Structure 1
Amino acid sequence: MGELYRLPNPKDTEREASDWIARMNADDVTPDDRARFEAWLRAHPCNVKAYADLKATWNELVKTGPLVRAVYFGQAMNAATTRQAQSSRWLAGVLAATVAAVVLSTVWSFYKQQADTRFQTAVGEQVAVTLPDGSSFNLNTNSRVDVDYSPGSRVIYLERGEAYFNVAHDAGRPFWVHAGDRWVRAVGTAFNVYLRPAGVQVTVSEGTVKVVDAGGGKLPPSDASYAKSAAAVTAGEQADARGSADVIRALNTAELNRSLAWRQKSLYFHDEPLGNVVNELMRYTPLTIEVVDDSLRELPVGGTFQTSPEGAEALLKMLEDGFGARIRRPGADHVYIEAVTE
């Protein structure tokens, strides 16, 4: 499945980032402090962004007034050599801590409300991400999402590709996914969203979701507006949203399993036209594969293939050995599938 990502709790990130701002600007910062700080940064992308935003604000604060440093009060007092200096530096420390607390609090409020966390995968890569409330999603090949998570909202923007969501139940905080021209709303369920060139495909494995026309909006619709036009998709159903229409159909167990098989790094096909099989496998390889002949494009194909470049190569070998097709490679990244003519 690739790397496992866990989104930190925003409150914990706020506290840790503030602590590191203070520690790294202290007079007695040590090599061990720096090593632990670097390890904290590497622990999660959220830490890097949070610290960078806070550090930028801190630098602006330093530029606009006398040099203030985030130091412990005791250190400021011990460093003073006279009573007057001691008093002066203690007051500076109080001022620094007070101003920094106000500024950092403001920045973090803005950060938690506005900043999105982006996750994306390369061709053939898959990752899993866990949110602080226990909700999670698996991101398929060549996909990208922006996560807007806060105590008041759970919103995922699927900008490209495909993701499977497992949503922790929270009736007071609906889980929204924006993909193409649709919003998908869930409270506690499991479902798959695939953003395709032809539209949005939603497959539900547990519970019920509501599919709503986004109407060009980037904010989730209100409860009143979505309730009027939402299409309900329940477990075992799949919705194809194209333009103004939502076509919902029931899947049998085998069809449902095939639709979600990519999470086990496999693709299953049963008498599927070769053109469709090629289009799916191309998502997992840098190769461009073209089926030259119409008769081959409609050829029914079945089998199990890996969600990787090896899977595409296995298909090409099967066509060449089992169906007598000609596989022509004019370059390293292009393949033509041709029928053999006598």
Structure 2
Amino acid sequence: RYQLDWEDFDRLAGIQLKSHARIDPDLLAPRNQSSGNSRKLVHLITWFAALPLAALIAFSIYVSFFQAKETSGLKLQPALELLARIEQRTLEDGSMIEINRGAEVDVAFSKSERRVYLRKGEANFEVAKDPSRPFIVNVAGVDVRAVGTVFSIRLSEDEVDVIVTEGRVTVKPRTTSTVPDESSADSFLNVGQRARVNLHSESLAVEVSSIDETEVEALHRWKPRLLDYDQIQLGEIVQEFNKSNPVQVVLSDPSLETISLSSSFWSDNVEGFVRLMESSFGMEAEWRGSREIVLRKAN
């Protein structure tokens, strides 16, 4: 398309030359004006006459460029968000938050308490001990209170899900009326326990249950961890990445699965893994949709 626009510029130049050839300078010049001044006047008039067309072509190029750029960005945006690394945020008190992709967290510390708001998604909290300033996470009106603890919270459309992996927390649901209700009492969670609050229930009762290590590991696969491999087949490594990430890696040829690899990767760094396959193992990557990357032998 840009080539056609430049051709329009060429045609514009041709129009100017042809106009100069057709116009009789004596028709535009005053009776006592020299022919040299007549030519200058003709050139000036022709130049001004061509300005609107030139401006239109330039505007067309400008709009075409930015429309193409914007369209390209929209296509890439979902993939880039899914490839983003897990954010690890250290707070001023030394506490650390691991924020899953797409989650939103706001921090509002004061002298008396350390308050955090989980607006969306899922996060894991490793709380620095400070008995004088309780650490409180508010999520959809539910308060999760801790002192020195490790726990995760997931907010979905239907519920708040809390899992404790170290220490102890209290879960206090929001109250829907001024009348005291036993279901709104604080619930205590210890290691290996899980609390769920149904956001569509009128009582907003806290449902506490036990959870084993296998379940905890499966629910926390999104958390970044170092994967250290020594002569492990590529197929097994890809499976491990796919368990931990929304973007799935696909090997186009079964023969690629048996390639042995010795390296270390962070489990959330799919992009780094794919780039290594391209730069060091003679492969090329191709997006298939917004959630799959196909690896194949480079031509």
- Shorter-chain TM-score: which interval? 0.3 to 0.5
Calculate the TM-score normalised by the size of structure 2.
0.47
Whose Rg is larger?
2
